[in-house]
A and B are shown apart, each in its own frame.
Chain A
Amino acid sequence: MAAVKRDNEEEVKTDDGSPKIKPRPIVRLGIFLIAHSPIFSVVFSAAGVLALLLLPLLAKNTYISENALMPGSARSMLSNQDVSDGSKLVKDIKNFRLNHEGQGVEVQKLIGKYMSEMGAEVSYQKFHPEGNQFHPLHFFSGPDSYTLLENVSCASYGVNVAGIIRAPRGDGKESIVLVTPYDFINGGDYESLSLGIVSSLFSLLSRVTWLSKDIIWLVADSRYGDYRPVAAWLTEYHSPSFKVSDLLKCDELNTADTFRRAGTMAAALVLKVDGRSERFEDTLSIYAEASNGQMPNLDLINVVNYLAVHRQGFYVKLEKVVSLLSSSWLKIFGEIFEAVGKLAHTLNPDWNFGIPAADYLEGSATLASSLYSQALGIPTGPHGAFRDYQVDAITLKVSPRFPPHSKTRQHDFFLRGARLLEGTIRSVNNLLEKFHQSFFLYLLTSPSKFISVGVYMIAFALLVAPLPMVAASLYIDGCKALTNSTHNPAENFKSWKWLDAAKQVFALHLLGFIVTLLPYFICQLPGQHSPRNRSIMWGTTSSSLLLITFVTIPGCSPFSSRLHRNNWAVLKSVTIAAAFIGLCLMSIINFATAEIGALLLVPTCLMAQPIKPALRSRSIKSLLGALCSLVLVTIGFPVMFFAISKGLLGEGIVGLSLGGEFWTWLESLWAWKSATYLYIGMVHLPCWLLCLCILFHPS
């Protein structure tokens, strides 16, 4: 690389000894960066990783951006009478289920009766628990309208109950949705507590005069998962089919009543109660990630967090990657940052960026989980279904500190839970416009701290910055080598040297695209196949396709001897350029995926070098380099990375079941229309293959 530098300097000087013509400063800077690309790429990548590690330090405190929300400014109107209404419902459901062994839709009817007694309009909705079908063309498309299924069986269908309280003086243009998933057949005691909380609140809301938006309470039949019933209800709400539905024929419930609607949704809250809190206080967990890393408006989280902490005394938490909490290396980083912060504080008392190491650890564990769930692109709860319709929604999971049978504690728990929801609804009710003031692009490091897009993009930008530099430097390098090696003037035609490499890169990207589509055809195969068999099928077809590509398209194979010796530099340059473009595109669609992808792909691409010369030279440095690139390429294989991340999360899987697991994981990705799947297939996999080609390049 030093040679490159010298070459560049020589180029700058003119041959007739006159003082060199200085190019424009920006060009000079570019040339300088390209000339020193190895150093800069190390510096930038390290800075990128460091910036990522620094993010918990840079997190700002959340604040309520929309003034109209005014959380907690009104006194709660919830009375003991309302709470006892809620307790009564819980008791009735429990007794009912004891007496009637989980049959039919009687529990739904009981809840419906309660709702209508409170003055709400009740409607029942039947839905099919059918899974999402993978269709490659449906990525990024909106929620597809209700597709009719042929020969629907009446044996399995769920029934949702929805009650609507009309705002007394409202105009009915907007509504707020409360969702309580409840398994009507085998729901536990804790689950029914969520019904109690919301019904206490509902009883209050049917009396109040301040409502300006209608309130919808949806009791989702979570027999078939939390997400599906909510999604089915939303589909029926927004894009009903006016044609005859087969479900009407299976009539266990007289569905003469209409499906009721209440205007545009302003916000939605999903309430779940599960498990007992490990802490002394009642715990409230907030889940906000929807599909493809979309987040609800930060103001919604702020309001809930403010009310839960400052009014109702809940302990609010977010998901964390627990294994990170005990990791020693992160702790060391935290201590270093703490020490630096203290030092800075002694230098200037105004510099207060240091945070305690424990806080740092918590923050990074939360951030990692936030990044992970955004990167996965799978919603973390039923609230994800709302995001498809541009409705801001979050899931609140409450864990009480008492066992489910304690009556006295239950009353207090209902009171506080319902007051929290009341406050939130009151705030949203105050809104004249829909949520738009606060952030939509952010990462949370704690319920009251966030990192906005302007900050977290720096880490990514630093990480991918070396790619264009190295690509340019390699290109210059490769061209020079080519020019030196050939003496054919026709081949010296400079601007076409990248064409061979580009062909290869393009062919492999095309292959990646086909491999991405393959599961669709595998799913279409008749007969039942286990995920393991399917993954094997996929693997074999993909690898045979790869071989076919190598054989049929000339110049694609890494093993063909036709190529020039130094061609790998140009190939690597084009690969890196393709990876750069892919990563930048992905960062717009889903930042978290791009960030994690860059962490994997950038070192792999940068380190990839042919092993043969390294083995031949037998110097320790080159051997180390070869080993590094080998390890990185091994980790970079999607299946491998999946296994490693599973291991990090604490679920080790080894052996043949891995394929099946991987298949199911991918299936879930495409079922949720996660762009991560596309990223893996169309950016990561081709780049990884190209790195492999470079690794085994016969130079």
Chain B
Amino acid sequence: MTTPSRLPEPYGPSSGANLADILERVLDKGIVIAGDIRINLLDIELLTVKLRLIVASVDKAKEMGIDWWESDPALSSRARRDELARENAELRERLARLEELEQGTGRTRGRTHPKEAS
């Protein structure tokens, strides 16, 4: 796309601006209106912080020749989805087990172990 002429033209956002300049404005500035699709604004703020960390880490990691972020759930959305699914399944299973236990022993527990309470 060609840049339409405007004044003054020695610098255009498209030419001089880096990614940080653009993100800083479209992500952090501009009018904040709650749309129908609710994105928690805190998420976006956290995201900028996290992004800085990611980029900084990637840089550092490259120096050290490692690529742990690919599978780190805090840094990769895919890894996190996998991680979440796994964690969810695990938690459900544990909850089910606890519920079973609870039904079996819950009503009498207080009376059968009075020492533990004190």
A, B assembled together: no
Chain B residues near A (Cβ < 8 Å) = none
